[in-house]
Amino acid sequence: MSNNNIEQMLIDNKQEKLLNYLNSTTEANRTKIASQLNDVDWGFISYLDKEDSSSTSVISPIEATTMDDIDKKFTAYEECGIQAIKDGKLCLLLLAGGQGTRLGFDKPKGCFNVGINNDLYIFELLIEHTMDVVKKCDAWIHLYIMTSDINNKDTIEFFEAHNYFGYNKDYIHFFIQEMNPATDFNGNILLSAKDSLALSPNGNGGWFSSMNKAGLLEGIFNSNIEYINVFAVDNVLQRIADPAFLGATIMENKMCGAKVVRKANPEEKVGAMCLSNGKPHIIEYYELSEAMKNETNPDGSLVYGFGVILNYLFPISRLKDTLGESMPLHVVKKAVPYIDDAGQLVKPAEPNGYKFETLALDLIHEMDDCLVYEVDREKEFAPVKNKTGVDSVDTARDLLSKNGYIL
Ligand code: UTP
């Protein structure tokens, strides 16, 4: 792109500050930043004036398939799911592109060792859980792993160094998600170095279009695959490729499925399943009013009491229809390291700018209906988000020990 075009692009997107910088910096810095600007999707600019606000749509409760319901039909669900996996109808997507800032670990989160006396890496646990199903079904399952520019190399090297933890590497496919620039609170794009924009992964919702850009969808469309099980990197106890969950989604004739746990208390910071204008929806904990948070059913359970654990089943056919549509962006206040006007790197402790992220939960809202599938939080929910405290390495280790893991 010519200098004139870049100048126009920056003016059109209200980036005069960056333009001034480019005009005053070295040729080498300018060239590097210009090449990054070529890849910027400027859609984020239109979100600057609309920080996430609570939705005006009508929220109502959604019916869940509880653990009691599941018990009654478990064998049938499981048999149905096993057959579907044997028939090659399922693939998996591990979302591993996040930066894991809360954990504060300088490698990809999956490389974190939750062991104490023995090595037990998060990626290793996730592969182990998947292998349980591979063995049960006697069939390999394609596993897609989304990384970002920041952690792709480390992630691949880690898998190679550990021989893919015994998984068939022909069935593992890495791809890189897109990045968005971060801005200050005035909408000016920040720099992370004198020759680089402050870019960060664009959230965990844009994976289908990233898979498309990586050329991975054709293989899926030309195969028997009908469902994709999408899951987060940090829940070390989750069941992946769970045959009963897949079988239940198929047998109950639901378009998609979401694993949920009963919220530990009304204040727990997890998104809750609900309906929004009659369609499946996830309402964030901060969007629930006090009254809704505490509303109970006649049996005392919370009306909005089923929290999502970021483990979903989506139908490929419906995802295909969404390909042309752009996902909404969420504007999140974050602490973004940046180069100040004097050229010094600043690492703020408090939020100083915005990141623009797509969220997996927005895909749920694109579905006609959803199987809300309850699992036992003591057995399937051990997220490693923080170093200590709630949802931390400590709590995950406790739960792993309770479930028989030797750490
Ligand atoms: P989180 O919302 O916990 O974000 O991600 P994070 O980046 O891992 O951690 P913090 O907030 O900085 O501490 C939930 C899941 O979504 C993935 C993460 O890797 C995790 O599996 N994710 C998140 C992506 O794949 N890409 C992203 O851009 C963001």
Give pLDDT tens digits for 248-306: 999 999 999 999 999 999 999 999 999 999 999 999 998 899 999 999 999 999 999 99
Cα 159 to middle of ligand 1, angstroms: 19
- More confident of the two residues 365 and 374: 374
CA-207 nearest atom, ligand 1: 25
Q: Compare 53 and 321 and report the one with higher pLDDT.
A: 321
> What average pLDDT does the chain have?
95
Rounded to the nearest angstrom, the distance between the alpha carbon of 362 and the centre of ligand 1 is 15
* Residue 1: pLDDT over 90: no
Which of the listed residues 106, 150, 234 should we mutate to test ligand 1's pocket, taking the one with most ligand atoms within 8 A of CB?
A: 234
Pocket test for ligand 1, best of 204, 210, 240, 355 (most atoms within 8 A of CB): 204
Choose the residue to mutate in 99, 123, 155, 385 for probing ligand 1, maximizing ligand atoms within 8 Å of C-beta: 99
Instruction: Output phi, psi for 302, to 5 deg.
Output: -75, 135
Q: Please compute Rg for the chain using Cα positions.
A: 22
Taking the centre of ligand 1 as the mean of its atom positions, its distance from the CA of residue 42, in whole angstroms, is 22
Q: Is the pLDDT of residue 101 over 90?
A: no
Q: Whose CA is nearest to atom 10 of ligand 1?
A: 100
Question: What is the predicted pLDDT for the residue at 272?
Answer: 97
Predicted local confidence at residue 325, as pLDDT: 85
How far apart (Å, rounded) are the C-alpha atoms in residues 233 and 359?
15
* Ligand 1 mean position, distance from CA 284 (Å): 16
Q: Read off the pLDDT band of 110 (50, 70, 90).
A: very high
Token code pair at residue 393 = 């390495």
- Conformational region of residue 270, where left means phi above 0, alpha means psi within -120 to 50, and beta covers everything else: beta
Task: Report whether 77 contacts 244 (CB < 8 A).
Answer: yes
Going from the Cα of 169 to the center of ligand 1, the distance in angstroms, rounded, reads: 24
Pick the residue whose CA is nearest to atom 16 on ligand 1.
204
Ligand 1: which residue has its CA nearest to atom 7?
98
Ligand 1 pocket, residues with Cβ under 6 angstroms: 95-102, 146, 177, 201-204, 232-234, 310, 385
pTM: 0.94
Mean pLDDT of 154-180: 97
Secondary structure element (H or E) that encloses residue 256, with its range: strand 256-262
Residue 76 in this model has a pLDDT that exceeds 90? yes
% of the chain with per-residue pLDDT over 90 = 90
CA 294 to centroid of ligand 1, rounded, Å: 28
| Residue nearest atom 1 in ligand 1 by C-alpha distance | 98
pLDDT in tens, 173-225: 999 999 999 999 999 999 999 999 999 999 999 899 999 999 999 999 999 99
**pLDDT (0 to 100) of residue 395:** 97
| pLDDT confidence of residue 323 | 87
Q: Mean pLDDT across the stretch 223-234?
A: 98
Residue 51 is predicted with a pLDDT of 54
* Three-state secondary structure call for residue 139: coil
Q: When comparing pLDDT for 374 and 286, which is higher?
A: 374
pLDDT of 145 above 80:
yes
> For strand 330-334 and strand 272-276, is the pairing parallel, antiparallel, or unpaired?
unpaired
- Give strand pairing partners of 357: 330
Residue 3 has pLDDT above 80, yes or no: no
Separation of 330 CA from ligand 1 center, angstroms?
14
26 C-alpha to ligand 1 centroid (Å) = 35
Answer yes or no: are the C-beta atoms of 316 and 208 closer than 8 Å: no
12 alpha carbon – ligand 1 mean position (Å) = 31
